[in-house]
Amino acid sequence: MLDTVQAAPEDTPAELRRDLAIAAIDATIVDVPTVRRHKLSQTSVTAQSYVIVRLRLAGGAEGIGEAATLGGPRWSEESVEAMKANIDAYLAPAVLGQPADRFEALGLRLDQAAKRNNAAKAAIETAAFDAVGRALGLPVSALLGGASRDRIPVLWTLASGDPAQEIEEAERKLAARLHRTFKVKIGALAPAADMARMRRLAQALAGRAELIVDANQAWDETTAARCLPQLAEMGVALVEQPVPAWNLGAMARLRARPGTPPLLADECVFDAHDMLAVAQAAAADAVSLKLVKHAGLLGLRRVASVAEAAGIGLYGGCLLESSVGAAAHLQVFSTFRALEWGCEHFGPQILTGDLVTEPLRFEDFHVHLPSGPGLGVTLDPAALRRYARP
């Protein structure tokens, strides 16, 4: 990887403009093992796969971006194999030679080159922001209006399916003052088994931790209507996407029922139009924001703006990103005036190794915004070689 350089103070505007042109884009698939099985309603993973994008400017500055999946094209239609193929064949050629700092114009070109492919587009846009930030000596947050916070409350996900193991895991996180909010992945088991598991967790952590539940679209409306009041009685603070993404009507009806805890929209919101539909249907209390859904930092901000206008809370979602993807999320999250539900960017901690030279800092139940230009993290070439897929 080329060393990054900053524009010299004596550079003229015309020279700087030439320096900011996109000269090269490279995409690499990596597979990083996880410290334990991460089980969702529709799949489970023991290694996390990413596409790492490296984007070099004509002036020499280089930026990085990341696209993540969970177990292949099960969470959305994209897989890392498809991402790399589409970046190489369609998306990268569409922006080569273009000014990297004209982010909206880049997004338009990416949209003209391919429909959806949101995660692949997000990785390219993130790398462009990182490269421009490094060239100008500015953090990405400054390119988005400036940070309003330097740390964000961060939760941990319990997803092994074994309540005894999960209680032990939560106790370690509490003792280390890393996390005091835990999101529990349910839906892979029968509803009765999931409710029994949740009762054990709620009783063990009562008064010391907050619980959030993610059903990952596993229930139909009848099952959700039966289970949601039980979760509310256990003190669960938020329930994510209990029914399929297409069924906004069910989300709205469930939300209107007495005894339903606050609902978090995830898979039903990929763009600002989806967010508007959720708001109009009064179908959610909060929305999970993810670069892989919203096609980049600007798309994420557009979704957040619609949610804010509708009085819907913001929640920083994740797909087990490494420090590269997590740093990108933190840069944009830091610019929000309010992030009511914090974030879940614990991903670097669940990996057996990270992809950057200095991983993100987790302490006192917060994840800290990395300092420095661009994303604030630097890709580790040795780690990239170690985890790169042949």
Strand order in the sheet with 44-57: 22-39, 44-57, 62-68
Q: Note whether 6 and 134 are within 8 A (CB).
A: yes
CB contact set of 382 (below 8 Å; sequence gap of 6+) = none
- The one-letter code for the residue type at 256 is A
Structure tokens at 105: 């114009």
Neighbours of 192 (CB within 10 A): 10
Tokens of residue 187, six digits: 């839906």
CA quadruple 361, 364, 366, 369: dihedral sign = negative
Q: Which of 185, 240, 267, 290 is catalytic?
A: 185
- Please count the other Cβ atoms lying within 10 Å of the Cβ belonging to residue 204: 16
Provide the token pair at 135.
Answer: 């060239």
CB neighbours (10 Å) of residue 1?
13
Looking at the DSSP assignment, which residues form a beta bridge with residue 50?
30, 68
Which residue bears the tokens 């990103």?
A: 321
Phi-psi region of 295 (alpha: psi -120 to 50; beta: other; left: phi over 0): left
185 annotated active-site? yes
Q: What share of the chain is helix, strand, coil (3-state, %, to 5)?
A: 40, 20, 40
Residue 68: CA count within 13 A, CB half-sphere: 22
| Annotated catalytic residue 173 | no
Q: Are 30 and 387 in contact (CB under 8 A)?
A: yes
Q: Which residue spans within 254-357 are E strands per DSSP? A: 263-265, 286-289, 313-316
Q: d(Cα 148, Cα 160) in Å, to the nearest integer?
A: 35
Q: Which residues are catalytic?
A: 185, 344
